[in-house]
Structure 1
């Protein structure tokens, strides 16, 4: 059941018209009930929250004014089954979820659950989706930190905003996602680095080291070589993402096609042409092929449409590489 502090915060946020804080506390209560095995109650709470958000249609964020443009709040609905990764990776993600659900059991033995996670891999390989799935599975809101807005040219301002974000992490349990993390986690010894960014990195190292909340902190980067080596020691787990192999390509294409999947699809040529594309690129190509089939009045997607859209994705990648 909800503890006294949660009840007081729930009432306070309601009368202060702080809707996002109200939803966050309610989600915390749902997560607590789920950890105690009260799945039905947790599910009922989630449904009430989702219904309330739909009816109110409010975009008000209850964060401090300075953070409203820096943190994007969402309630993910992406299913775990939609994530196409090797079984080894799936087990590691499941372990993070399992430890979170039984954190109290670990705390009783003086141990902490994995809650500071670094995701590394090429664009479109499932890093952002993983953060969304962690939030969905744990019935927590996803708070995405807008790193491009976090970093400013004014001395001390970025570190001050980082402190506010970590105060929020301590106060409101959620999954906090730092995408393009290398923007603030760059190697301190780089010759072209400026003093302000070194201070920002030092601040982040200090804040993440001192953080003892139950929130999950998830950072993602496409460029691990740019990260300061001290960062790697601050994370409880590091997951490496790669481009899909033929088995994952086939699973991904089948998942996205669904009822549009042709029974006798020539998988050999489709998979061969998909080599080198990311999960996101393949999924986009398949969805484009589905749209072509719908507009043509067809109920299935054939190899020809798939190959055309896959080739377009390859052409787009070539164009980007030339710029």
Structure 2
């Protein structure tokens, strides 16, 4: 954007009180100054933005209705903690790089991708991956509370969504919608036509208006329930299916190495016997072995424990099917 256009945007945002346009314009000016190697000025602009953000955030969180709309988790999981298919892993690394190098992109009038949709059966890393984005980018991780968003009064859900998005736009963060289909469902749903249409329309409008420094991540176990227009709003769509046999083997090997305790049965054989379980269930199986081993010390026999617990878990899997 030309310097004259940036100045016009800055003046317009001041006159109209548009905090979002103001922030985007100042960030663009800062990026331009960095390209010119005017680092001192760029740093002063960035610091002013951060102080403004903190003040706005403090004011917003005093709203008791907002406090019921989301909660914050301190992110700890890293991308390296998650077993992903190569294509999904590379895509995640690209997004992280885009945000780390956002100043360079903005100097060419480009923005990093920041709207991500995760789909797949439960227990395969959607929440963990959302948390990993926050960890890798050192951002606050906000999780939406649907009971604080979805109201029984007509129009209250859309109003609460508006409040939520207004708040998160005041700072850099990751906003996570688990079970996104709960409010992003198809507008042709014959059972809930009126209110659902209003909610989805409000949701789509707010997603479109999100600045790139807010990373919104939706997760769904039922992708077919999502409104078709919702799919188009997301820059990136990542599928997280059940683990393949190779991925299950890798998980077993990682757990055995982290505990310095081989399971006594080849990872390949474990993966075959437990095919059909999610990543979360496979992790719980490994932790189950570890618990039995620790509680049986000093006489624990890990191979015997693995054989016994494998039969129990295999029977559970058969009943599940």
CA distance in structure 1 between the partners assigned to 2:247 and 2:301 by the alignment: 19
Range moving further from structure 2, 95-104 or 302-311: 302-311
Q: TM-score, normalised by structure 1?
A: 0.78
CA distance in structure 2 between the partners assigned to 1:307 and 1:148 by the alignment: 43
Post-superposition offset of 1:313: 5.0
The residue aligned with 1:3 is 47
CA distance in structure 2 between the partners assigned to 1:284 and 1:251 by the alignment: 15
CA distance in structure 2 between the partners assigned to 1:252 and 1:301 by the alignment: 21
CA distance in structure 1 between the partners assigned to 2:234 and 2:203 by the alignment: 12
The residue aligned with 2:261 is 261
The residue aligned with 1:243 is 242
Range moving further from structure 2, 203-212 or 126-135: 203-212
Post-superposition offset of 1:107: 1.5
Cα deviation digits, residues 119-152 of structure 1 (max 9, x gap): 0011011110001100000001100001243212
Question: Cα distance 1:63–1:281, how it changes in 2: closer, same or farther (>3 A)?
Answer: farther
Question: Cα distance 1:158–1:8, how it changes in 2: closer, same or farther (>3 A)?
Answer: closer
Q: After TM superposition, where is structure 1 displaced by more than 6 Å over at least 4 residues in a row? A: 317-321
1:277 equivalent to 2:283? Answer no
Post-superposition offset of 1:298: 5.4
Unaligned runs of 5+ in 1: 22-60
The residue aligned with 2:11 is none
Larger Rg: 2
CA distance in structure 2 between the partners assigned to 1:299 and 1:119 by the alignment: 44
Q: TM-score, normalised by structure 2?
A: 0.78
Post-superposition offset of 1:242: 0.8
Instruction: Tell me how many residue pairs correspond in the alignment.
Output: 276
Post-superposition offset of 1:213: 4.4
Question: Cα distance 1:154–1:71, how it changes in 2: closer, same or farther (>3 A)?
Answer: same
Cα deviation digits, residues 272-291 of structure 1 (max 9, x gap): 11200000010011111101
| Contact 1:80–1:133 (CA under 8 A) maintained in structure 2 | yes
| Contact 2:264–2:303 (CA under 8 A) maintained in structure 1 | no
Matching of residues 197-216 of structure 1 within 5 Å: 197-216=196-215
Unaligned runs of 5+ in 2: 1-42
The residue aligned with 2:65 is 66
Question: Cα distance 1:306–1:160, how it changes in 2: closer, same or farther (>3 A)?
Answer: farther
| Contact 1:261–1:301 (CA under 8 A) maintained in structure 2 | no
| Contact 1:72–1:146 (CA under 8 A) maintained in structure 2 | yes
| Contact 1:260–1:299 (CA under 8 A) maintained in structure 2 | no
1:292 equivalent to 2:292? Answer yes
Matching of residues 147-158 of structure 1 within 5 Å: 147-158=146-157
CA distance in structure 2 between the partners assigned to 1:145 and 1:300 by the alignment: 44
| Contact 2:113–2:212 (CA under 8 A) maintained in structure 1 | no
Post-superposition offset of 1:308: 4.5
The residue aligned with 1:305 is 305
